[in-house]
Amino acid sequence: MTAAPAAGEPDEEYEEPGADEPGQPAARRGRRAFWWPAALAAVVALGLGVPALVSGGTPASGSSAATASAAPATGSADAGFARDMAMHHQQAIDMSFIVRDRTQDEAVRGLAFDIINTQANQRGMLMGFLDQWGLSQNTTAKPMAWMGHTYEAHDGSLMPGMATNTELDKLRSLSGRDAEVYYLQLMIKHHQAGAEMAQAYVDAGTNAPEKRLAQGMVDAQHAEIQLMTDMLGERGAQPAP
């Protein structure tokens, strides 16, 4: 599968709730500079990683051949996780932008803001790993093949936890409390599957910096699942079965 940015990838900036200009609805606020978190993360990953991103350690000084030989293969768990999680993250970002424009609730908009920025930065780091290793963002392998997972893609859902095109269209059609509840239900399922994938990489991966990034995803997404479950309860709803 491909981890290249999906069509319609967010390229605008989200402003925190309450930052509206006088007389300007929140849903119409500009997001023109949002591209920078992912770009910055990729630059940081490339700039700080040099050989460490490739091997997880520090090779002998001037040993470019050693660095090249240590780069993960395109079919490795390291490369597969980077590609698949980047795609998984992209949909979470897309869903968060949708709900941002469908509600004025500060708690939900604040959560969406956090997910947009956190996952855009992580996505940039994952792309930075692939670039540092000299690997393509594209592959003919099936999603999550690196972890022995078999998932039949359908209606735009490429991996477990990913919303279908039908579900995304429904989210776009809702507003207010209905949009909040549906977004939280979709995002809980998205996080559950994302955390499972990240844990699988922690268990199977070989690149130390990428494993640390994946462990951070596991911890953060479990915490957000609990937060979103509580937010659903406040709205008289529960996670979807």
Entry pTM: 0.74
Domain limits for position 91: 77-134+156-241
Cα 31 off chain centre by? 19
pLDDT digits (tens, 9 = 90+) for 168-227: 999 999 999 999 999 999 999 999 999 999 999 999 999 999 999 999 999 999 999 999
Alpha-carbon distances of 166 from 16, 34, 71, 157, 235, rounded to whole Å: 28, 26, 39, 10, 24
Q: Kindly tell me if the per-residue pLDDT of 129 is higher than 80.
A: yes
Give the CATH number for residue 226: 1.20.1260.10
Distance CA 209, CA 74 (A): 17
Residue 213 lies inside a defined structural domain of this protein: yes
Most confident of 43-52, 64-73, 138-147, 184-193: 184-193
Which range among 147-151, 161-165, 198-202 shows the weakest confidence by mean pLDDT? 147-151
User: What is the residue whose two structure tokens read 């709205």?
Assistant: 235
Checking if the pLDDT of 51 tops 90, the result is no
Whether 110 maps to a domain, the answer reads yes
| 207 vs 3 pLDDT, higher one | 207
Beta carbons within 8 Å of 113's beta carbon, 6+ residues apart = 14, 16, 17, 96, 100
Q: Is the pLDDT of residue 68 over 50?
A: no
**What CA–CA distance (Å, rounded) separates 136 from 116?**
24
197 assigned to some structural domain: yes
Residue 9 resides in a domain: no
* Structural domains of the chain, count: 1
Report the alpha-carbon distance of residue 115 to residue 105 in Å, rounded: 16
Residue 234 lies in a domain: yes
Is the pLDDT reported for residue 20 higher than 70? no
Q: How many residues does the chain have?
A: 241
Q: 57 lies in a domain?
A: no
User: Strand, helix or coil at 154?
Assistant: strand
Amino acid 167 reads E
Q: Which of 118, 109, 84 is closest to 2 using CA atoms?
A: 84
CA distances in angstroms from 25 to 17, 20, 94, 101, listed in the order given: 11, 7, 20, 10
Q: Which residue is it, tokens 């972890």?
A: 147
Mean pLDDT of the chain: 81
In this predicted structure, what is the pLDDT of residue 69? Answer: 52
